[in-house]
Structure 1
Amino acid sequence: MAITVGIAGITGKFARELASALLKYPDVTIKGYCRDPAKVPETLSSKVQLTKGDAFDTSAIRSFVAACDVVVCCYLGDGKLMVDGQKALIDACAEEGVPRYVASDWSLDYTKLKLGELFPKDPMIHVKAYLDAHDKVKGVHVLVGMFTEVFFSPRFGTFDAASATFKFWGTGEEVWEATTYQNAAEYTAAVCVDKDAVGVKKLVGGRATIREIAESFEKVYGVKLGLESQGSVDELYKHMHELRQKDPQNIFSYMFLFFQYYMINGQTFLGPENDNGKYPQVKPVTWEDYLRSVPKDQLLSAISNVGSV
């Protein structure tokens, strides 16, 4: 069955992964929206109908969403873009008769959070509420845990490659849910093609504890990692709030600690039940699968290669 998918923010990393995944479906037409079409790789631009415009150009947005069966938002930016920019897309979908809208989520289960708890996810809470109240457009929310590539990136602060150590909070028995960018894109593509898919979809690559991930690391690379607890989960909560209170403008000094806290405290877990079984054409990529796919010396930089098409 032919389907037209609109991707807003098509120049982004995840958007390019999604476009690549969608192109594997023979009856899918892709429309893309971005400020600068020249930034879309030629390998994609030749296969996608591009519309130029910014997040608040209502005329261009309506032209972009027209004739789409589903629109996916791949915006990534400040609160105004993530809330008002998405509302502009949703309103255009309503005006042009687009029945489904995939919000820019790909996250842990923020539906279990209150506003202000994990502050970078507040825009998602606002957008979901806006969609829930909409009578013309059905919201779709793809939840994947964290991105596996982020876990190993230097900025996240858990994997210390120099000392071959996992530095973590808690006991090491807390579960981490993660999905690679490519795997999340494959699941999102499957959701787009499934015209009945609405509401929250929990699609997860792997669930494992720090200790289990370390065991997989040793199995794959032959290197035994050190395990170093930074303190209890409660101590993490205290530490991250102290850092934020001390220097709120230095957001990167504490933001990823907030993510770590809500990843492992049990509040935002997607599993163990999920919706993977609804899309058997997509193979979940577990923590160990991911390690087998990336050379050890490329783990730190793997995130920079996301979206290379």
Structure 2
Amino acid sequence: MTTTVLLAGATGDLGRRTLRELLHHDVRLRVLTRPGGTAARVDDPRVEVISAAYSDHRALTAAAAGADVVVSTVSGVRPVVVDAQRALLAAALAAGVERFVPSDYSADYRRVAPGGNRNFELRREFAADLDAAPLRATSVLNGMFTELLTGEAPMVLFARRRVLFWSSADQVLDFTTKDDVARTTALVALDPTAPRVVEVAGDRVSARDVARTLTDLTGTPFRLQWAGTAGTLSLAGRVGRLLAKDRDETFPAWQGMQYFADMFSGRAQLHHVDNDRYGPHAWTSVRDVLGQHLARNS
């Protein structure tokens, strides 16, 4: 049976990947874009591009009418993660949509105490709205995007051949590539029996494992470097947030500190990973991503 999906955030990185994955299935896809924003360009008769402002409840409701599921891949801070998704949820309810997939795509924020991670707090706040709404919701939790290890995440120092860790070099960390998250999201969108949370992890490794992998890939020793405790990193993240000139950046340095503090403390670790929920799949590993990065920069 054809599933009608309303996809929000399709012009973003994860959104484009999710759109592509959805089109591998029997879907009728509506892509939501903001007036004046970058329009999604898809040469497929199953795709309808709809322009509607998140402040326009009537237009949003019309966009959602007849959809089986709303999938959100929007990215940002409060005006997007909370305010825009609340508007999208209100429209879905008004249109009688039965399911909603929020833009979570993170480590397990449910186990992290309030006050220590801004992006987790925003997801938790919207999750409370979803849990109170009369529809089925499914969040996809995947740890950290594996690609961040090669750039934005403050863990691998390629030039210095160091792998940083906080507290313990043996703490298990969850990583999943954006393509694997997009695939999972598409399958969740097509699954009317999906539970409240689907946890996946393309790879589960420690800092020690990462150092060994890089040593093996390069033939040059990558050494572990203790950078403090998860507690001191969390404190540094809070201080960085207080001193930041622009607190509305999506992923500033202090947000990365908060994220790694929660991962290395074990608070945000996934505990109910179900990679086989939708059948066997060749998940992309941390080794794969690091190897590709090294090959591109050799």
User: What TM-score, normalized to structure 2?
Assistant: 0.90
Change beyond 3 A, Cα 1:295–1:124 = closer
Change beyond 3 A, Cα 1:20–1:222 = farther
CA–CA distance in structure 2, aligned partners of residues 250 and 92 of structure 1 = 31
Shift in Å at residue 182 of structure 1? 0.3
CA–CA distance in structure 2, aligned partners of residues 148 and 83 of structure 1 = 25
Shift in Å at residue 14 of structure 1? 0.4
Shift in Å at residue 50 of structure 1? 0.5
Corresponding position of 2:111? 112
**Does structure 1 residue 139 correspond to structure 2 residue 137?**
yes
Shift in Å at residue 280 of structure 1? 1.1
Corresponding position of 2:172? 175
| Structure 2 counterparts to residues 226-245 of structure 1, below 5 A | 226-245=223-242
Q: Is the 8 A contact 1:152 1:299 kept in 2?
A: no
Count of residue correspondences? 294
**Does structure 1 residue 186 correspond to structure 2 residue 183?**
yes
CA–CA distance in structure 2, aligned partners of residues 299 and 278 of structure 1 = 36
Corresponding position of 1:267? 267
- More displaced 10-residue stretch of structure 1: 30-39 or 84-93: 30-39
Change beyond 3 A, Cα 1:83–1:190 = same
Change beyond 3 A, Cα 1:243–1:19 = closer
Secondary structure of the structure 2 residue equivalent to 1:216: helix
Equivalent residue letter for 2:79: K
Shift in Å at residue 34 of structure 1? 1.0
Shift in Å at residue 61 of structure 1? 1.0
Identity of matched residues, %: 27
| Structure 2 counterparts to residues 1-309 of structure 1, below 5 A | 1-25=1-25, 27-35=26-34, 39-40=38-39, 42-43=41-42, 48-135=47-134, 137-153=135-151, 155-245=152-242, 247-249=243-245, 252-271=252-271, 273-292=272-291, 294-298=292-296
Q: Over residues 66-85 of structure 1, what are the superposed CA-to-partner deviations in whole Å (9 max), with x where a residue is unaligned?
A: 11111111111231221121
- More displaced 10-residue stretch of structure 1: 234-243 or 110-119: 234-243
Q: Is the 8 A contact 2:168 2:264 kept in 1?
A: no
Shift in Å at residue 47 of structure 1? 5.0
User: What TM-score, normalized to structure 1?
Assistant: 0.87
CA–CA distance in structure 2, aligned partners of residues 181 and 253 of structure 1 = 20
Equivalent residue letter for 1:86: Q
Corresponding position of 1:305? none
Q: Is the 8 A contact 1:21 1:185 kept in 2?
A: yes
CA–CA distance in structure 2, aligned partners of residues 62 and 108 of structure 1 = 31
Gap runs ≥5 in structure 2: none
Change beyond 3 A, Cα 1:38–1:109 = closer
Q: Is the 8 A contact 1:10 1:40 kept in 2?
A: no
CA–CA distance in structure 2, aligned partners of residues 142 and 100 of structure 1 = 14
- More displaced 10-residue stretch of structure 1: 256-265 or 35-44: 35-44
Secondary structure of the structure 2 residue equivalent to 1:86: helix
Change beyond 3 A, Cα 1:282–1:189 = farther
Secondary structure of the structure 1 residue equivalent to 2:104: coil
Equivalent residue letter for 1:232: T
Superposition RMSD in Å: 2.3
CA–CA distance in structure 2, aligned partners of residues 17 and 93 of structure 1 = 23
Q: Is the 8 A contact 2:104 2:123 kept in 1?
A: yes
Q: Is the 8 A contact 2:6 2:31 kept in 1?
A: yes
Shift in Å at residue 41 of structure 1? 5.3
Q: Is the 8 A contact 1:148 1:181 kept in 2?
A: yes
Q: Is the 8 A contact 2:142 2:176 kept in 1?
A: yes
Change beyond 3 A, Cα 1:235–1:81 = closer
Secondary structure of the structure 2 residue equivalent to 1:231: coil
Q: Over residues 162-186 of structure 1, what are the superposed CA-to-partner deviations in whole Å (9 max), with x where a residue is unaligned?
A: 2222223223111110100000001
Secondary structure of the structure 1 residue equivalent to 2:189: helix
Change beyond 3 A, Cα 1:237–1:116 = closer
CA–CA distance in structure 2, aligned partners of residues 259 and 12 of structure 1 = 21
